[in-house]
Structure 1
Amino acid sequence: MDPINVIITFEAKPERASAFAELMNQVKQSLPSADGCRGVQLFGRSNNDCVFTLVESWASKGQHQAHIARAVASGAWDSLAKELACPPVSCYCNEL
């Protein structure tokens, strides 16, 4: 199993941007305790307060997918999705 990075960009609804920023900061603090998560970085776009990007490092793609499956099953993903202006964009990336 090779380590993998996941880059996810979210666009919050304008009226929810501040609350979403708080939520993203909570994710940044709590996600590293998830099985297989090696670390998280959070970025905000300098020209748009509604756009946030998480860069997550995982021990394997499978561990990330298991984490997402748990988030969906628990309903946590649905509550996050309600805050968004559009679906998130994500990709798996290998560091070069």
Structure 2
Amino acid sequence: MDPINVIITFEAKPEGASAFAELMNQVKQSLPSADGCLGVRLFGHSDNACAFTLVESWESRRHHQAHIDRAVASGAWSALEAQLACAPVSRYCMEL
């Protein structure tokens, strides 16, 4: 099974953009310890200080989904969503 990449873009509420940037940096540091996570890259958008993109590499889609299931069950995902201006946009991608 080939590794999978998850590319997810978040747009924070303007009043919370700097706090959300800190949260994203914490995710960048901690997520690689999750089972099946191979690495994380974090990007800020040069044209929008409220927009952030994570590029996550996972051993498999199953590993990523298990991580999301744990985040939803723990309430961590709801806490993150409360800081967003709109729903995140996420895609599974394979490197070509």
1:14 alignment counterpart: 14
2:48 alignment counterpart: 48
TM-superposition CA deviations, 1:40-85 (whole Å, max 9, x none): 0000000110000000000000000000000000000000000000
Where do residues 21-36 of structure 1 align in structure 2 (5 Å cutoff)?
A: 21-36=21-36
Helix, strand or coil: the match of 2:35? coil
2:67 alignment counterpart: 67
CA distance in 2, matches of 1:3, 1:48: 30
TM-superposition CA deviations, 1:7-50 (whole Å, max 9, x none): 00000000000000000000000000000000000000001100
CA distance in 2, matches of 1:29, 1:93: 22
1:76 alignment counterpart: 76
* Matched letter for residue 16 of structure 1: G
Alignment TM-score, normalising by the size of structure 2: 0.99
Alignment TM-score, normalising by the size of structure 1: 0.99
Q: Percent identity?
A: 79
Q: Root-mean-square deviation (CA), in Å?
A: 0.4
> C-alpha displacement at 1:2, in angstroms?
1.9
Instruction: For structure 1, list consecutive stretches of 5 or more residues without a partner in the other structure.
Output: none
TM superposition outliers: structure 1 runs of 4+ over 2 Å: none
